[in-house]
């Protein structure tokens, strides 16, 4: 993994409540952890253990029949709109077509638009605007349509 990417990862968690991030790339696993608030992040690197990277289900089944939870696909900062002044991509009750915009997750200074994998109706927005999210953090409660 390129050292500049590690530096970007450290910078990404500095301004958030995230205390630990682990990334695996090209057989190298990098773990960035921050101790006490305001402390300097610590970086640990180890060769890959041969285990496949775990990816969250983007729409995990919820307890209610027909209700699904859309989760974060990456570590970053959750934004409901393209800019602070813009209207949110979706609100509770919004109907979203497959491929429609749900939110943005900023990761390593890049804005990543998160799209719906299926037609759905937003039942509840679970993440807060500007909140740091991890892999698998619940973002939306939806009902497929």
pLDDT at 98: 96
Give yes or no for a contact between 132 and 76, defined as CB atoms under 8 angstroms apart: yes
Residues 6 or more apart whose Cβ sits within 8 Å of residue 58: 70, 71, 73, 117
Q: Exposed e or buried b for every residue in 99-116, given b needs 16+ CB within 10 A?
A: eeebbbbbbeeeeeebeb
pLDDT at 10: 74
Q: What pTM was computed for the model? A: 0.57
Rg (CA), the chain: 17
Q: What is the largest CA-CA distance in the chain?
A: 47
Where does 59-144 sit in CATH, by number?
A: 2.40.50.100
pLDDT at 50: 40
Tokens of 142: 């939806």
Tokens of 20: 């630990």
pLDDT at 2: 67
Residue carrying structure tokens 């037609």:
119
Residues 49, 3, 29, CA angle at the centre, nearest 5°? 10
Q: Residue 85, exposed/middle/buried by CB under 10 A (0-12, 13-18, 19+)?
A: exposed
Q: Exposed e or buried b for every residue in 60-81, given b needs 16+ CB within 10 A?
A: eeeeeeeebbbbbbbbbbbbbe
Q: Walk along the chain (145 residues) and give the pLDDT tens digit of each residue.
A: 666 777 777 777 776 777 777 777 777 777 776 665 444 454 444 444 443 444 444 455 555 678 999 999 999 999 999 999 999 999 999 999 999 999 999 999 899 999 999 999 999 999 999 999 999 999 999 999 9
Ranges of each domain in the chain: 3-47, 59-144
């Amino acid at each position: 993994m390129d050292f500049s990417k590690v530096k970007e990862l450290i910078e990404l968690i500095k301004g958030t409540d995230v205390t630990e991030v682990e990334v695996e790339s090209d057989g190298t696993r990098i773990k960035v952890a921050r101790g006490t608030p305001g402390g300097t992040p610590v970086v640990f690197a180890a060769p890959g253990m041969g285990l496949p990277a775990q990816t969250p289900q983007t729409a995990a089944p919820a307890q209610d029949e027909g209700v699904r939870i859309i989760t974060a696909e990456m570590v970053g900062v959750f934004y409901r709109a393209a800019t602070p002044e813009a209207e949110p991509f979706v609100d509770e009750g919004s109907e979203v077509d497959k491929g429609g915009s749900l939110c943005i997750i900023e990761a390593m200074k890049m804005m990543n638009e998160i799209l719906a994998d299926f037609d759905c109706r937003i039942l509840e927005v679970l993440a807060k605007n500007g909140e740091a999210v991890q892999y698998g953090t619940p973002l939306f409660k939806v009902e497929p349509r």
